[in-house]
């Protein structure tokens, strides 16, 4: 039998650019690891831009038509923008406007500027659905039980470090007696008498520059003139010294006392959420908001062992984000991010990595 030979002619075909792009996308989709799922989150925000807390310079009140210690139009825009930013970054899959009322719980310290900030943030986060979300000034002891058992504590006890038991003794030991504080106070002391005369109030020590510097900073950013006896160099020096003193007042030795109650509460929320997710039990609560102050963020960053230093005080509308992620069945981790003008990952102090274990977070609250 004779063999029949077949000859095939192959024509080289060059894929078109669009085909190559589509093939690459398919390969990426098949080979890329699945993105970890955000299953629960807690945010702590600082209120928006405000007016001076008091009329230190006995000035015309028309300079501050909102009143003292009140949020400005700038602050209003800051908080709404922060909520919108958070929605785009984190929360598109966690909840939506239809589930917001049951998925979100919001708390605030009992001041007008923080309550208003919470409302504006929520509006940016979920739009008109924010109207159905109450902002509480008391926190349930058991978040799973909510307010049904009648047990709740004031947000001030969680979010205001200045009500920490023995706070005066703590700051005396770890702030006022520290070599850094004493050296700074000594260096500035020759200016105190002149500054006192210029602002018509006593400046006897470094602590006196905290409130004074805050007020001058607000005058500066709102283009309201400072007292005539202060030169531009004086204003800058007072602002910088006051800000340094304020930040240093919540250094890590202080923050481990003033910040641990809130970290303990966050760890409890994460533990509850992890348990619910691991059991595949459908739970409504997905997100908790706390509206608070710069001192809150300073304390928590120190308690997390990632302290803010120098004159790096939290700006208006700064935030601290705790996210619980599921990487697989019964595999959870926490990511913590601090935002001022940019995002900063807060590392786990035990591992040095970006991913926290719940156990490591819980230890800092003990």
DSSP-assigned letters across all residues of 215-239: HHHHHHHTTPPPPTT--HHHHHHHH
Tokens of 49: 């831009």
Q: How confident is the model at residue 251 (pLDDT cuts 50, 70, 90)?
A: very high
Per-residue pLDDT, averaged over 232-253, amounts to 98
CA 90 to chain centre: 14
Contact 159, 290 (CB under 8 A): yes
Does the structure show a pLDDT above 60 at 6?
no
Does the structure show a pLDDT above 60 at 30?
no
Q: What percent of the chain has pLDDT over 90?
A: 74
Residue entry with tokens 């959420």: 273
Domains and CATH numbers, the chain: 37-164+259-365 (3.40.50.1240), 168-248 (no CATH)
- What is the model's pLDDT at position 240? 98
Per-residue pLDDT, averaged over 82-93, amounts to 88
Q: How confident is the model at residue 61 (pLDDT cuts 50, 70, 90)?
A: confident
- What is the model's pLDDT at position 7? 40
- What is the model's pLDDT at position 21? 45
Does the structure show a pLDDT above 60 at 14?
no
Contacts 24+ apart (CB under 8 A), 271-279: 271/358, 271/362, 272/143, 272/144, 273/39, 273/40, 273/324, 274/40, 274/324, 274/332, 274/358, 277/39, 277/40, 277/324, 277/326, 277/332, 278/330, 278/332
Does the structure show a pLDDT above 60 at 31?
no
Tokens of 281: 């039990």
For the entire predicted model, the pTM comes to 0.88
In angstroms, rounded to a whole number, what is the distance separating the alpha carbons of residues 360 and 322?
A: 13
Residue entry with tokens 């230890």: 363
- What is the model's pLDDT at position 90? 82
């Amino acid at each position: 039998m004779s063999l029949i030979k077949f000859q095939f002619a192959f024509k080289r075909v060059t894929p078109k650019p669009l085909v190559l792009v589509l093939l690459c996308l398919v390969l990426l989709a098949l080979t890329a690891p699945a993105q970890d799922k955000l299953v629960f989150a807690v945010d702590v925000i600082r209120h928006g831009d405000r007016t001076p807390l008091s009329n230190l310079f006995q000035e015309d009140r028309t300079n501050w038509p909102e009143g003292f210690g009140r949020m400005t139009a700038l602050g209003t825009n800051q908080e709404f923008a922060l909520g919108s930013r958070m929605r785009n970054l984190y929360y598109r899959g966690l909840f939506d406007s239809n589930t917001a009322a049951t998925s979100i719980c919001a708390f605030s310290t009992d001041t007008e500027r923080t309550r208003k900030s919470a409302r504006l943030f929520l509006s940016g986060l979920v739009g008109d659905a924010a109207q159905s979300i109450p902002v509480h000034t008391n926190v349930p002891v058991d978040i799973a039980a909510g307010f049904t058992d009648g047990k709740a504590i004031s947000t001030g006890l969680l979010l205001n470090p200045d009500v920490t038991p023995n706070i005066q003794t703590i700051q005396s030991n770890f702030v006022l007696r520290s070599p850094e504080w004493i050296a700074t106070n000594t260096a500035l002391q020759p200016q105190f008498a002149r500054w006192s005369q210029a602002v018509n109030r006593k400046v006897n020590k470094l602590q006196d520059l905290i409130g004074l510097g805050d007020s001058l900073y607000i005058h500066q950013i709102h283009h309201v003139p400072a007292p005539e006896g202060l030169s531009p160099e004086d204003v800058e020096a007072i602002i910088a010294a006051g800000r340094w003193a304020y930040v240093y007042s919540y250094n890590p030795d202080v923050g481990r006392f003033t910040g641990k109650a809130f970290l303990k509460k966050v760890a409890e929320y994460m533990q509850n959420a992890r348990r619910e997710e691991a059991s595949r039990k459908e739970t409504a609560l997905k997100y908790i908001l706390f509206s608070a102050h710069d001192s809150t963020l300073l304390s928590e960053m120190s308690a997390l062992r990632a302290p803010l230093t120098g004159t790096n005080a939290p700006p208006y509308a700064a935030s601290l984000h705790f996210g619980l992620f599921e990487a697989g069945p019964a595999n959870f981790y926490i990511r913590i991010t601090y935002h001022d003008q940019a995002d900063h990952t807060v590392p786990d102090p035990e591992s040095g990595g970006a991913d926290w274990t719940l156990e490591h977070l819980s230890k800092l609250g003990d």
